[in-house]
Structure 1
Amino acid sequence: MLLLAMDTATPAVTVALHDGEAVVASSSQVDARRHGELLLPAVDRVLSEAGLKLDAVTGIVVGVGPGPYTGLRVGLVTAAAFSSALGVPVHGLCTLDGLAYASGIDEPFAVATDARRKEVYWARYADSRTRVGDAAVDRPADIAGSLAGLPVVGAGARLYPEAFPDARDPEHQSAAALAGLAAERLAAGGDGFLDPLPMYLRRPDAQVPKNYKVVTPK
């Protein structure tokens, strides 16, 4: 087994290789505006570090969000392209599940990432491997009461300390953690994966203008 994992649903452009037992190589850069520029060089970097070629990969793991429209699509489109070129499956995972897994917390907690517009993408967890319910997007003040007393992992907790006073690491997503979670689920029978489709939770920031300017020929 050699899994190539990637996630661009958050400001972290993160890639990792996992051989089913451990992470072979990984790369993460935090840059909210350069997902398209950074992802493929990161893939080349981890393959080079591992001394492997792309055709050695037996499966793709990709974070499906939730996340902003443009960044999220970069990872999903790249994963689909690799899957098609290599003839290997794509395993989708909720991005928040990767952060939860990386936390290693074995008690109830939540994960929150920056959704912009003064909102967070979030989900509640029973432990680092078990999400309780679906991911959602809300204003921090609107969910602070329901998460009171719980640790909150992720950049969302750092951005809104008044709503989430018990912020925990990691702050950013890691493809290494995402790959480790995928390897565990594959070893257990392959359940728990999502279709590799974008989880937006709301409409994109860019909107089609409602009124077009009429242009007539001279």
Structure 2
Amino acid sequence: MLLLALDTATPAVTVALHDGGRVLASSDEVDARRHGELLLPAVDRVLTGAGAALGDVTGIVVGVGPGPYTGLRVGLMTATTLAAARGIPVHGLCTLDGIAYAAGTAGLEGPFTVATDARRKEVYWARYADARTRLGEPSVDRPADIAGTVAGAPAVGLGARMYAETFTGVREDLPEHASAAALAALAAERLAAGAGQGEERGFLPPLPLYLRRPDAKVPANYKVVTPR
């Protein structure tokens, strides 16, 4: 098993290579505006650092979000393109699950909340019984609207840090963004346990989990120009 994992659902451009037992190499860069520019060089750097080639990879792991429209698409399109070129499977995972897994690896016990920045003064968030068990589906909300649910409980992620008045149990010593190393480790664990496609079986299809419409919109009342 040799898994290439990547995630662009948060400001982090994160890539890792995992052999089923450990992370062989990883790269993490935080730049919310340069996902497309940074991702492929990071893939090349990780493969080179591990002494591997794309032809050695047996599966792709990708974070499917939730996340902002443009950044999220960069990772998903790259993952599906690389997988198609190699004829290997793509294993989708919820990005929040990867952050939760990383938090658990760092010693956080449940229950807790993961929250990332959704822009528009909102957060993408989900509650967890423990590092491997999400309680319900991810949501997007204004922090004030979920204060009664999350206040006082441990919370991780950039969204929790940004709205510490709501996420009063925020743990600033724990992961802020997605980690491909954590995604890869989680995927390897699920594959070893015989997980298959479908969330109830462990993996999601490599499709974007947006939770809302994209920020970009077609202008209203624009002038149509037609040839004479």
Q: Please state which band the TM-score falls in when normalised by the shorter chain.
A: over 0.9
Q: 1:189 pairs with 184, 194, 198, which one?
A: 194
Residue of structure 1 in register with 2:157 after alignment:
154
| Deviation per residue, 1:167-213 (Å, 9 max, x gap) | 12111111000000000000011131001100000000000112121
Equivalent residue number for residue 65 of structure 2: 65
TM-score of the pair, normalised by structure 2: 0.93
Counterpart of 1:131 (choices 130, 134, 141) is 134
Cα distance in 1, alignment partners of residues 80 and 11 from structure 2: 21
Q: Which runs of 4+ in 1 moved over 3 A?
A: 214-218
Structure 2 counterpart of 1:174: 179
RMSD across aligned positions (CA): 1.0
Aligned to 2:198: none
Distance 1:181 1:98 in 2: 7
Q: What CA distance in whole angstroms lies between the structure 1 residues aligned with 2:207 and 2:23? A: 25
What percentage of residue pairs aligned between the two structures are identical?
76
Q: Tell me: CA distance 1:209–1:126, structure 2 relative to 1, closer, same or farther (3 Å).
A: same
Number of residue-to-residue matches in the alignment: 218
Question: Can you give the 5+ residue segments of structure 2 that lack an aligned partner in the other structure?
Answer: 196-200
The amino acid of 1:9's aligned partner reads A
AA in 1 matched with 2:213: R
Q: Retained in 1: the 8 A contact 2:151–2:169?
A: no
**2-structure distance, mates of 1:75, 1:112:** 20
Shift of residue 216 of structure 1? 5.9
Q: Equivalents in 2 of 1:163, 1:14: separation in Å? A: 28
Q: Which amino acid aligns with 1:198?
A: P
For structure 1, which runs of at least 5 residues remain unmatched after alignment?
none
